[in-house]
């Protein structure tokens, strides 16, 4: 949301995008707590640059990439910059299995509906 808000403040059109992803490198503690490695509403941003929508995942800073063994995400404004499919050692990281579409504003009702359809372990 912050990336979209900042882009819009700079007069760059942008919208939110959501996708369902299994995150294969999620820590066992998180998988146990959530009951799954599936993130049904993983968010990203799509700024409109040079007459096209560019997909961007602004969630992994360099320090977290290094700690997780992921290649850094390079946003150049021309190519899509999404969460890396594989870690630096070749292990599968994420798969984009379902595009839930793009939205001008946070689709909170849709996120709740989708999230409630998943069974999570509650602490």
Using a 10 angstrom Cβ sphere, with 0-12 exposed, 13-18 middle and 19 or more buried, the burial of residue 36 is: middle
Is the pLDDT at 120 greater than 70? The verdict is no
Distance CA 6, CA 13 (A): 10
Backbone phi, psi, residue 115, to 5°: -65, -40
Using a 10 angstrom Cβ sphere, with 0-12 exposed, 13-18 middle and 19 or more buried, the burial of residue 102 is: middle
Which DSSP helix (H) or strand (E) runs through 44? strand 38-49
Question: What is the residue extent of each domain of the chain?
Answer: 2-112
Q: What is the pLDDT of residues 96-109, one digit of tens each?
A: 999 999 999 999 99
Residue in 78, 84, 33 with CA at minimum distance from that of residue 60: 84
Q: Which residues pair with 14 in a beta bridge?
A: 47
CB 94 within 8 A of CB 17: no
The set of residues, in sequence order, having a beta carbon less than 8 Å from that of 53 and lying 6+ positions away, is 15, 46, 47, 102
Q: What is the pLDDT of residues 38-72, one digit of tens each?
A: 999 999 999 999 999 999 998 888 998 999 899 99
């Amino acid at each position: 949301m912050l990336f979209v808000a900042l882009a819009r403040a700079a007069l760059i059109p942008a919208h939110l995008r959501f996708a369902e992803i299994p995150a294969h490198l999620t820590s066992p503690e998180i998988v146990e707590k959530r009951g799954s490695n599936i993130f049904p509403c993983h968010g990203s941003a799509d700024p409109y640059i040079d007459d096209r929508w560019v997909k961007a995942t602004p969630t992994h800073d360099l320090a977290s990439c290094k700690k997780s063994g992921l290649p850094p995400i390079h946003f150049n404004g021309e190519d899509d910059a999404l969460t890396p499919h594989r870690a630096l050692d070749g292990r599968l990281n994420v798969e984009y299995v379902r595009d839930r579409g793009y939205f001008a504003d946070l689709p909170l009702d849709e996120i709740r509906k989708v999230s409630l359809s998943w069974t999570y372990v509650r602490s």
